[in-house]
Structure 1
Amino acid sequence: MEKEMSPMTTEMLKKGYLLFPKALFEEQMNMKTGEKAADAFEAFVFVLTHVNYSTVTCNVRGHLFDCVRGESVLSLARWMEILGWPRNRTRYFFNKMFDAGIVERVANPYVMHIRIPDYDFLTGNARPKAAPRKKKAAPVAGVGEDFCIFWEKFHDITEHPKVNIGRARREWKKLTAGEKQRALDNIDEYYDHLNNQKYCKQAATYLADKSFENEYDD
């Protein structure tokens, strides 16, 4: 069984850090091209070296937002390539990192957006936490745009064919504003709890059955 990382604690941080040039580290990691991350720790190291070193402005389907230092908007498929792992193992790894607080989700309806909260500390900055993010108002979706956001996100996560968009749009219109938000927020949870992801519902059926309201034991 793969050994999991423990959450970083204050006591752990008191032990100090080993600092060495990022370029040298990346050179050594590049020698592993084509190889898999051996375990959760090595996978986290890969994540640490692939998040942003400085703020960049991203454009996803015309929506602009900042991805700041210590964050990443790489897709799950790209992380699968980086780690050399299958989809299920990659998603399991990130879910464990989220649960432990080692990696955090950043609210973003358009892409997978993550943050390493202790990035500055881990890269030699004296501050114990990354600088607070400047809060911005969430993008306001126009008429019909909220469905497009759902449609793209659902298929980005499930990687299933985009079929029956007409029925899906009709089912979307039947939902309340709160249900639409939960339908968008809970795609990951629905997909992660499928016993066999081969049998993932179409977007229209996911909405019609209100699968976003499912309750799970874990």
Structure 2
Amino acid sequence: MNKPTAEMLKKGYLLFPKVLFEEQIKATKGARGYFDAFILVLTHVNYSTTECCTHNHTFECRRGESVMSIARWAELFGWKRSRTRYFFNKMYEEGIIQRVANPYTTHIRIPAYDMFVGQKRRENAREETNGVTFETFWEKYHEVTQTPKLNIGRARREWKKLSPHERNLSLKNIDEYYDNLADTKYCMQASTYLSYKAFMNEYDY
């Protein structure tokens, strides 16, 4: 398997009910290969954060994570434990699955979970509907600050790191940031404004 990227997913998504996949797994009596095994992992990680307790140790298992043992995964895959362990080690090496530090159980994370389930795509679609896009931010920032349009690549990378809420604030608070500068010649470049999260500054009025 290749490590997922946003570029790979530009061809779109298929809406595939989990029950159909589960029935196929039952019919074939387990995972036939690494792809089947990965899809099983994808369908057995958390959709939302839950609290777990193992050996009297309480911890959070977040969205896109699982705390099942290798023995349980082997049972799900219909494989021997040695093959199951080899599969996870291979996924760790390729960065498709991450190992979460936990001395009490096998704790894993799918770092691209939101991408796989289309969450990022839905968030981006909502942002575009509301007019909160990088292009809108880029134009407004330079219209308000009258600064040169520099380092757009870095600014775009910083934009992608922000949550939908932070992107909304970054666009909404440009005027407030600029109006509260003691000296406008020290106005940040757009990329720095985003990376420093200057849109979250609090001012005394």
Report the TM-score, using the length of structure 1 for normalisation: 0.52
Q: Which structure has the larger Rg?
A: 2
Q: Residue 41 of structure 2 aligns to a residue in which SS?
A: helix
Distance in 2, matches of 1:13 and 1:31, equals 28
8 Å Cα contact 1:19-1:124 kept in structure 2 = no
Aligned to 2:54: 60
8 Å Cα contact 1:104-1:114 kept in structure 2 = yes
Distance in 2, matches of 1:25 and 1:116, equals 22
Query: Out of 117, 139, 155, which is 2:111 matched to?
Result: 117
Q: Residue 38 of structure 2 aligns to a residue in which SS?
A: helix
The alignment-based identity, stated in percent, is 58
Aligned to 2:120: 126
**1:92–1:122 CA distance, 2 compared to 1 (3 A):** same
Unaligned 5+ segments in structure 2 are 124-159, 164-205
**1:37–1:21 CA distance, 2 compared to 1 (3 A):** closer
Q: Residue 14 of structure 1 aligns to a residue in which SS?
A: helix
Q: Residue 32 of structure 1 aligns to a residue in which SS?
A: helix
Distance in 2, matches of 1:46 and 1:20, equals 13
Unaligned 5+ segments in structure 1 are 133-218
Distance in 2, matches of 1:46 and 1:32, equals 14
Aligned to 1:78: 72
1:19 deviation in Å?
A: 2.0
Distance in 2, matches of 1:48 and 1:123, equals 9
Q: Residue 119 of structure 2 aligns to a residue in which SS?
A: coil
1:29 deviation in Å?
A: 4.1
**1:120–1:25 CA distance, 2 compared to 1 (3 A):** farther
Query: Out of 83, 94, 112, which is 2:88 matched to?
Result: 94
Whichever residue aligns with residue 82 of structure 2, its letter is N
Structure with the larger helix share: 2
CA RMSD of aligned residues (A): 2.5
Q: Residue 31 of structure 1 aligns to a residue in which SS?
A: helix
8 Å Cα contact 1:26-1:49 kept in structure 2 = no
8 Å Cα contact 2:91-2:97 kept in structure 1 = yes
C-alpha deviations, 1:149-175, integer Å up to 9, x for none?
Answer: xxxxxxxxxxxxxxxxxxxxxxxxxxx
C-alpha deviations, 1:51-71, integer Å up to 9, x for none?
Answer: 112211111111110001111
8 Å Cα contact 2:6-2:115 kept in structure 1 = no
Distance in 2, matches of 1:29 and 1:50, equals 16
C-alpha deviations, 1:107-144, integer Å up to 9, x for none?
Answer: 11111100111111211212699x99xxxxxxxxxxxx
1:28 deviation in Å?
A: 2.6
Distance in 1, matches of 2:16 and 2:81, equals 32
Note if 1:44 corresponds to 2:38. yes
Q: Residue 11 of structure 2 aligns to a residue in which SS?
A: coil
Distance in 1, matches of 2:63 and 2:21, equals 17
Aligned to 1:13: 9
Q: Residue 43 of structure 2 aligns to a residue in which SS?
A: helix
Distance in 1, matches of 2:104 and 2:61, equals 13
Report the TM-score, using the length of structure 2 for normalisation: 0.55
Distance in 1, matches of 2:86 and 2:53, equals 28
